[in-house]
Amino acid sequence: MKRNLRLSFAALVAVMLLPCCAKAPEVNPAADGSAPNLTKEASATLERSSMDSALPVWAEGRESEYNLDLAFRATVRSNGRQRAKVRLTAQNSYRLKVNGEFVAHGPCVAAHDWFRIDEYDITAHLKKGENVVAIEVVAYNDPGYSFADGPGFLAAEVILQHRVAAATGAVSGKRGKRIVPFRAYELKTKRQDVPRYSLQRPALEVYDLTSDYDKWCSDPSWDAPDKEVALTVQTEKQYLPRHVLQPKFDIVEAEALSDTMFHFQGNKCGFLGAVVKVSEPTELTLAFEELLYPTPDRKFRELWKNQSKAVFNLQPGEYTIETMEPYAMQYVDCIADRPGVEVEKVYIREYVGSDALRAQFECSDPRVNALFEAARETHRQNALDIFIDCPHRERGGWLGDSYFSARAAMAFSGRTRVEDNFFQNFLIRDTFPNAPQGMIPMLYPGDDLFGPSYIPNWAMWFILELEEYATRRGHPEVLEAARSKVYSLCEFFEQYLNEYGLLENLSSWVFVEWSHANDLVQDVNFPTNMLYAEMLDAIGRMYHDSDLTDRAAILRHTIREWSYNGEFFEDNAVRGDNGVLKSTGECTEVCQYYAFFSNTAAPDTHPELWKKIVEEFTPDRTARGAYPEIWPANVWPGCFLRYEILSRRGLSKQLMNEIVATFYPMTLMTTTLWENLDISASCDHGFGATLAFIFFRDILGVRDIDLEERKVLISMKDFGLEWCRGTIPVGDGNIEFQWALKPDGYFDYTISVPEGFIFEEL
């Protein structure tokens, strides 16, 4: 069909997929069970899971021992035709093999005192006769950002057809059929007394191996009575289903740059492996990084105190070695302390999400296409079972970041599977180990090495994401399930309100952005107060609470009186020795974006500032020397807040050009999207994947997908592209939309929407 584009953007929906709730939330569980119900308040309908026979077990008296690695195995007999599966979970990390073949790594993470059961079909790995089901398990008993800390255990069972054939802690089953117990061994191939890998992740991997080190997981006749450990049944566990799709474990081989240096085509995430031959006892270090420093000696970065390496002490022989934990990298340096080491192959076994492949995007600008694929790759590596920040340094489930990662997840998958788990982990518990009563942890599940700490700003982002999540999910009962936590958070912030109604001297870690803005957070930080006003407004919308809506309006007025100096919004005010609050006069770029994002300012109320933002604060501002007194913004949230406010005004051409200018150089270096504008931090950060969401909304022109009204709103605009096409998943269906700009200024387009949906052209 041929339509002339209407150029008015006044009626454009501000954010795709994210209208405010239009009616009061009621508890109304999804009839199809597509998403788990949340919180203990809803325990009557909480989607729990259970083991058929397996009991949680661990080495007797060693449940709290640091970095203990155990090898569990059971031998089961098959006729070669039976369907078979393994169901298992553990406190920290496990690696499952059948007859020596890798099957899976886990577990799917969950909140403290809850555990998700992973289930894997192992039929293709079985042979007729005896089969070895082997599970290597490590319990760290050391705080980390990537999991909930707790005493070690494994619960696992093997099911042949419909019968439990092997299980931890069980010796007999129904109808008198014997169940083979898993036996456990301490092989001591993985060193226990090692330093941390990073500030945020425990236990550097160091191994002592002989060439037959992995025989225990493949040979039915293998036994080592002197290494067997006695097992005891641990306290009863609370189980949940995995819910999210299983990971992808594809093998990707690196290209050899020299005898020792190897290179992947862009950042990859997973388990680093190598095939090597050793002629004499050798210490082989596999050092890895996302980028090399651009210096003559091409050194790896010493970043965030990471020990980006795994160490293998090898006796003479041939080996296939592989790390137990996942990392992200592009370059690998194989460093041996002896000559005569042959590195035949370096590879990575990917550990990435599998729910990002249906979405497609392509346009006439190849740079934009490369950015979309970089967003997909970044998302795959950071959205496995929760939204994490980076797959290398910490693998932490951070709030704030997740606000943007969740948008990308919906754009790529058309579902909220990962976000369901992410929110359930936060909402299923009444209290948290690392946050005071009423506060929501800055990341979860996880534990801080330095004890309780939290970011109050991240709790505000939690509320903003919750509002969007309720709409994305299509089942607003999540709001009722979250009500008590939401209002407890409101009560928590009350204690920090000063005589003007502004938050002052918030405790713990106030975080605005990785820029100079973070040096201006006390005493009264205005970006934080702007976000707080938006939080109050969001709660008012979700729960139809006019008191909070009114408070948000008053707070915005107060912020304008204190922060706006007639030209720019200033970042903070401090109390002098006389106790009088006074603005510091400091202004940052990101503060201006917070003002417009939070509706503290608007183009109509602050037109001169808006004009400066649009015309002067472009990516080349620093190079042009424009407004040097305004401290520059960084990627998150600065760039993404800027993109939101540009999108709200329909400035799609400028939005596209700025994204290309900022992010395209990153894709050329890593094929992933970065934490900062430079290489000083992670070069593979989850929130960057929201570019895909922006491309669907602002470039393809699918401005809104209203799940409640089952309506798709589209809009096309001439901003320099000749054509664009895309596939956007929506549940089990897809939106297929493409357009081409004709020489006469008209658009030809075709669109198909899922059954039951309609579309409208704006």
At residue 676, the pLDDT reads 95
pLDDT greater than 70 at residue 22: no
Is residue 462 within 8 A of residue 426, CB to CB? The reply is yes
E strands, 251-326, are: 251-253, 255-256, 261-278, 282-289, 309-314, 317-322
Q: Report whether the peptide linkage leading into residue 220 is cis, meaning its omega lies within 30 degrees of zero.
A: no
Residue 119 to residues 84, 103, 105, 125: CA-CA distances in angstroms?
Answer: 10, 11, 11, 15
pTM of the entire predicted model: 0.92
pLDDT greater than 50 at residue 164: yes
At residue 6, the pLDDT reads 26
Tens digit of each residue's pLDDT (9 = 90 or more) over 503-551? 999 999 999 999 999 999 999 999 999 999 999 999 999 999 999 999 9
What mean pLDDT value characterizes the chain?
91
CA dihedral 451, 456, 457, 461 (to 10 degrees): 90
Is residue 355 within 8 A of residue 408, CB to CB? The reply is no
The band of 39, judged by pLDDT with boundaries at 50, 70 and 90, is very low
Rg of the chain over all Cα atoms, to the nearest angstrom: 27
As a whole number, mean pLDDT of residues 653-661 equals 97
| CA–CA separation, 253 and 266 (whole Å) | 12
As a whole number, mean pLDDT of residues 384-389 equals 96
| CA–CA separation, 551 and 566 (whole Å) | 24
| CA–CA separation, 315 and 341 (whole Å) | 11
Task: List the alpha helices (DSSP H) in 295-394.
Answer: 366-382
Is residue 613 within 8 A of residue 540, CB to CB? The reply is no
Return the SS3 of 370: helix
| CA–CA separation, 135 and 94 (whole Å) | 6
The band of 35, judged by pLDDT with boundaries at 50, 70 and 90, is very low
pLDDT greater than 60 at residue 279: yes
Is residue 699 within 8 A of residue 658, CB to CB? The reply is no
Tens digit of each residue's pLDDT (9 = 90 or more) over 339-377? 989 999 999 999 999 999 999 999 999 999 999 999 999
pLDDT greater than 70 at residue 161: yes
| CA–CA separation, 321 and 334 (whole Å) | 12
Which residue do the tokens 């997909």 mark?
376
Report the run of H or E that residue 335 belongs to, with start and end: strand 327-336
Task: List the alpha helices (DSSP H) in 428-476.
Answer: 456-473
3-state helix, strand, coil in the chain (%, to 5): 25, 30, 45
The band of 606, judged by pLDDT with boundaries at 50, 70 and 90, is very high
Q: What is the DSSP letter of 121?
A: E
Which residue do the tokens 């052209």 mark?
761
At residue 250, the pLDDT reads 98
Return the SS3 of 427: helix
**For strand 733-741 and strand 747-752, is the pairing parallel, antiparallel, or unpaired?**
antiparallel
At residue 475, the pLDDT reads 73
pLDDT greater than 70 at residue 118: yes
C-alpha of 514 from chain center? 19
Residue 256 to residues 275, 331, 393, 584: CA-CA distances in angstroms?
Answer: 13, 10, 25, 55
Is residue 350 within 8 A of residue 372, CB to CB? The reply is no
Among the residue ranges 272-281, 293-302, 546-555, 739-748, the one predicted with the least confidence is 293-302
Buried b (16+ CB within 10 A) or exposed e, 369-401: ebbbebbbbbbbbbbbbbbbbbbbbbbbbbbbb
* Residue of 614, 572, 608 whose CA lies nearest to 593: 614
Is residue 489 within 8 A of residue 507, CB to CB? The reply is no
At residue 29, the pLDDT reads 30
257 token code pair:
């740059």
> What φ, ψ does residue 530 adopt, rounded to 5°?
-60, -45
At residue 46, the pLDDT reads 58
At residue 294, the pLDDT reads 61
At residue 299, the pLDDT reads 63
Contacts of 62 (CB under 8 A, 6+ apart): 68, 152, 229
Is residue 110 within 8 A of residue 42, CB to CB? The reply is no
28 token code pair:
């109304």
Q: What is the DSSP letter of 632?
A: P
* Residue of 117, 200, 129, 533 whose CA lies nearest to 396: 200
pLDDT greater than 80 at residue 476: no
Tens digit of each residue's pLDDT (9 = 90 or more) over 199-242? 899 999 999 999 999 999 999 999 999 999 999 999 999 999 99
| CA–CA separation, 72 and 54 (whole Å) | 13
At residue 229, the pLDDT reads 97
Contacts of 617 (CB under 8 A, 6+ apart): 589, 592, 626, 627, 630, 642
| Percent with pLDDT over 70 in the chain | 91
Return the SS3 of 418: helix
The larger pLDDT score, comparing residue 664 to residue 170, is at 664
pLDDT greater than 60 at residue 570: yes
Q: Report whether the peptide linkage leading into residue 202 is cis, meaning its omega lies within 30 degrees of zero.
A: no
